[in-house]
Structure 1
Amino acid sequence: MKMKQRVRAILITPAGTTLLMKRVRPGRAAYWVVIGGGVEDSDATREEALLREIREEIAGTAEILRPLHQLVNRAGETEFFYVARVTQWSFDDRSGPEFQKEDRGEYILDEIPLTRAAISQLNLLPEEISTVLCETLDRGELLSSP
C-alpha cells in the first residue's frame, strides 16, 4: 500500500493576505493549518487534487503559482506545499466531507496578514511549514521563483 500524499496551498488573496484554517477541537489548543488535503486516486495530478481541495474547503478558485516545500508529516505522509493566488472563495459554500462530521471540531476560515509577525504568532502546523513560510517571507521570495 502506498503512503497517502497531501497537498496544501499558501493562498494569497488580492489584499495580500493568506487564508488559513483555524481548527478548534475539544481538549486541544487551537491551531491553524494550510488549506488542502489528501490526493485521491481519481485526481490526475497533485495540482488537480489541490484545486479540488480548495473548491471543497472554501468554495474557492485559485491559480497555482509554484511549489514551495515538501515534507514528511508525523503520519509518514508526504505533504506538498504550493504558493497559489486565490481570486474568490465562499466559506459558507464549502462542501468537503470533513465538515459533515460532528466529532471533528470547528473549522474557521481565517484571513491572516502575510507577514512574519502575523504568521509567527499562530500555532501553525506542521511547525516546519511555519518556519519555511517565515523564512520565505523574510527573503521576499513568496511570489518569486526560488
Structure 2
Amino acid sequence: MTDIVKRNARAILLDGDALVLIKRTKPGREPYWVSVGGGVEEDDATIEAALHREVFEELGGKLAHAELVHLITDELESGVGVQHIFAARLESMDLAVRTGTEFSKPERGGYEVVRVPFTSEAVRELNLMPPKLADFIAANTDAIVSVLDTPIREA
C-alpha cells in the first residue's frame, strides 16, 4: 500500500455564473491560475473543514455549499498526493480579512483574485493548474452546476 503523504482541498468555486480563481504571477514565469485551496493540516477536523479554512485564508470568504466531485492523484517521491476537489458556491468574500501567510511574502509573487465566466471555453483559455483540474472543469461545467443546484435532502 502506498502512503498518502500530502492531501489538499481545492474548490471549483462559483460566485453566481463566474468561476473564482487566483491568478498567480511570479518573476520569470508566465502567469497561471489556480483554484482556491491548499494543504490539509493536522488540526483540520475533516478535509472539507480544511477547504473552509483555506477559503477564509485566501479570500476572507465563506462557502454556502460544497460537494466533493473529483480526486486528483500525483505520485510524489515518498508516496502519493491527493487533491480533493469540491464544487462550491461562495456565500461571501472580504479580501481585507484574508489571513494566508503567502500575502505577506512578496517573493512568492502576486495573488490576484479573478472571476472568469464558468464555461468550458473560458476555462480552456486559461493556464489553469494543474492541467488535470482544467480538463475536469472544462468537461463537466454543466454537471458541476447541477450538483450545486440540486437541493440537499435531509435523511
TM-score w.r.t. length of structure 2? 0.86
Letter in 1 for 2:54: E
1:112 equivalenced with 2:116 (yes/no): yes
1:144 equivalenced with 2:130 (yes/no): no
Q: Unpaired segments of 5 or more residues in structure 2?
A: 148-155
Q: Which has the higher strand share?
A: 2
d(CA) in 2 for partners of 1:24 and 1:74?
Answer: 26
* Equivalent in the alignment of 1:32: 33
The one-character-per-residue Cα deviations of 1:22-77 (angstroms, maximum 9, x if unpaired) are 00001111000000011000001000000000000000010333112111236542
Q: Percent identity?
A: 35
* Equivalent in the alignment of 1:124: 128
The one-character-per-residue Cα deviations of 1:52-108 (angstroms, maximum 9, x if unpaired) are 000000000103331121112365421110001101112232111111222100000
Paired residues for 1:1-146 under 5 Å: 3-13=5-15, 15-73=16-74, 75=76, 76-137=80-141, 140-145=142-147
CA RMSD, aligned part only? 1.5
**Secondary structure in 2 matching 1:48:** helix
Q: Unpaired segments of 5 or more residues in structure 1?
A: none
Contact 1:73 1:126 in 2 (8 A): no
TM-score w.r.t. length of structure 1? 0.91
